[in-house]
């Protein structure tokens, strides 16, 4: 859908022109999965697809929510902002407006607004459609409510934190900050090496000569709020508590693989031990992968991606039949350097490094094997790495 078509849709919905338009991208994580809420580093990049928001003030002291992707519409009085029932999609936006007011009391919501959202992130793909919606709302309403940090880097970090708080309080998902951070701080043709504990980060050029990042959609929707995600947060916390009896730590990411060998024996819960084993290994893999990319060693980077999937399958148990089938089929293709699930898991997408000359073979083989084994037809996207949230008009 073009921006002209979005503007026309806004006029048809509200009988007036939109005053402003914003865009925020989805993301794909190249490596570093389920490390973010464990204080570790991640390595995501922003994508060229995401979420758009068009808005105009109204005189009714009401927030009206419409989406070109969802049939439900909502009308919420400005004086009565609170979570809406039945997993209402507007919560991902409403929560951001509420949290801006609470984090920044000087920010004032002095008008009602008519809002129209559109997203082209594949639904349920694990590419952070919710984070894109949160960050685009935070960007728009910090401006509308006259709050903005003069330091752009700090401002974009705050947008990410607003989106994360919304996810916690309005969606009930105790996620880390990676998704929102990538959406806010993305940079074209760069990935973000982010320390999720300190929020220090580095933009690392993604130079892949003759190689493409290919995202494969299982069309088995992931369900981050199904409880399994929050279970793993709790299991990691259990591991931290037991390890701290012999080695005080705040996060699992503080442990090196050598440390792990010394402390793993104190974890009495076998499930918590498996979860912690993944996190410690994934933190080390991510650090090595970033260095490999900087050195131009794409072969090693791909090997580490594949190792990441195996750990997510065996220790963290967040892959499942669809993602495993997709990744295992990819590993069979000559010209694939590495392939792994990306995102929270339980469905969604894989991300693969594929040589240019192997892309069509990759699509044909992975598509055939996946459809035969699951009955589902996948989609493939050659990823373009884009910039973070911005105002378009």
- pLDDT (tens digit, 9 = 90+) per residue, 356-375? 999 999 999 999 999 999 99
Tell me, what's the pLDDT at 147?
A: 95
- SS3 for 126? coil
User: How far is the C-alpha of 286 from the C-alpha of 305, rounded, in Å?
Assistant: 9
Query: What Cα–Cα distance (Å) separates residue 183 from each residue in 44, 137, 189, 246, 384?
Result: 9, 12, 14, 38, 14
- Average pLDDT over the chain, rounded to an integer: 95
List, in order, residues 6 or more apart from 311 with CB less than 8 Å away: 277, 278, 281, 282, 285
Tell me, what's the pLDDT at 366?
A: 98
Query: What Cα–Cα distance (Å) separates residue 111 from each residue in 64, 94, 248, 279, 325?
Result: 12, 14, 49, 45, 51
Tell me, what's the pLDDT at 222?
A: 59
Percentage of the chain exceeding pLDDT 90: 89
Kindly report, residue by residue over 257-310, the tens digit of the pLDDT: 999 999 999 999 999 999 999 999 999 999 999 999 999 999 999 999 999 999
Give, for 45, the enclosing helix (H) or strand (E).
strand 44-58
- SS3 for 314? helix
Greatest alpha-carbon pair distance for the chain in Å reads 67
**What are the catalytic residues?**
179
Q: Do 41 and 291 meet the contact criterion of CB atoms below 8 Å apart?
A: no
List, in order, residues 6 or more apart from 198 with CB less than 8 Å away: none
* pTM for this model (two decimals): 0.92
Q: Do 356 and 210 meet the contact criterion of CB atoms below 8 Å apart?
A: yes
* Kind of pairing between the strands at 62-67 and 112-119: parallel
Start-to-end CA span in the chain (Å): 16
Strand partners, 355: 211
User: How far is the C-alpha of 26 from the C-alpha of 8, rounded, in Å?
Assistant: 24
Kindly report, residue by residue over 103-155, the tens digit of the pLDDT: 999 999 999 999 999 999 876 677 788 999 999 999 999 999 999 999 999 99
User: How far is the C-alpha of 350 from the C-alpha of 189, rounded, in Å?
Assistant: 20
- pLDDT bin (cut points 50, 70, 90) of residue 45 is very high
For 269, which DSSP code?
-
Percentage of the chain exceeding pLDDT 70: 98
List b or e across 333-370, with b for residues whose CB sees 16 or more CB atoms inside 10 angstroms: beebbbbbbbbbbbbbbbbbbbbeebbeebbebbbebb
- pLDDT bin (cut points 50, 70, 90) of residue 229 is confident
Domains and CATH numbers, the chain: 3-205 (3.30.230.10), 211-382 (3.30.70.890)
Strand partners, 215: 351, 381
Tell me, what's the pLDDT at 281?
A: 98
Q: Is the dihedral of CA 78, 79, 83, 87 positive or negative?
A: negative
């Amino acid at each position: 859908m073009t921006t002209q078509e979005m503007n026309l849709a806004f006029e048809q919905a509200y009988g007036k022109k939109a005053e402003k338009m914003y865009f925020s991208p989805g993301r794909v994580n190249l490596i570093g999965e389920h490390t973010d809420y464990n204080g570790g580093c991640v390595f995501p990049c922003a994508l060229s697809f995401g979420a758009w928001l068009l808005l105009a003030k109204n005189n009714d002291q009401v927030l009206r929510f419409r989406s070109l992707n969802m049939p439900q519409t909502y009308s919420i009085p400005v004086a009565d902002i609170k979570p809406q029932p039945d997993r209402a999609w507007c919560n991902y936006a409403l929560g951001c407006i509420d949290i801006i007011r609470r984090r920044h009391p000087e920010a004032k919501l002095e008008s009602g607004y008519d809002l129209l959202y559109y997203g082209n992130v594949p639904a349920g793909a694990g590419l952070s459609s919710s984070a894109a919606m949160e960050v685009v709302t935070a960007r728009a309403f910090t401006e509308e409510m006259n709050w903005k940090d003069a330091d752009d880097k700090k401002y974009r970090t705050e947008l990410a934190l607003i989106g994360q708080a919304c996810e916690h309080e309005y969606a009930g998902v105790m996620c880390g900050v990676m998704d929102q951070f990538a959406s806010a701080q993305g940079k074209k043709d760069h990935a973000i090496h982010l320390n999720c504990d300190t929020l220090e980060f580095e933009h690392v050029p993604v130079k892949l000569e003759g190689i493409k990042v290919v995202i494969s959609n299982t069309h088995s929707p992931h369900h981050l709020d199904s409880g399994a995600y929050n279970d793993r947060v709790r299991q990691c916390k259990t591991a931290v508590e037991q390890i701290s009896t012999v080695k005080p730590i705040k996060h699992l990411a503080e442990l090196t693989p050598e440390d792990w060998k010394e402390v793993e024996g104190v974890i009495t819960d076998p499930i918590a031990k498996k979860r912690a084993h993944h996190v410690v290994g994934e933190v080390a893999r991510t650090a090595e992968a970033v260095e490999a990319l900087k050195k131009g060693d794409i072969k090693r980077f791909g090997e580490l991606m594949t190792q990441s999937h195996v750990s997510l399958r065996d220790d963290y148990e967040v892959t499942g039949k669809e993602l495993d089938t997709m990744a295992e089929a990819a590993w069979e293709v000559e010209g694939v350097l590495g392939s792994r699930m990306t995102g929270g898991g339980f469905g969604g997408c894989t991300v693969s490094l594929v040589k240019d000359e192997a892309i069509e073979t990759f699509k044909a083989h992975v598509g055939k094997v996946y459809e035969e084994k699951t009955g589902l037809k996948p989609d493939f996207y050659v990823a373009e790495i884009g910039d973070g949230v911005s105002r378009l008009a």
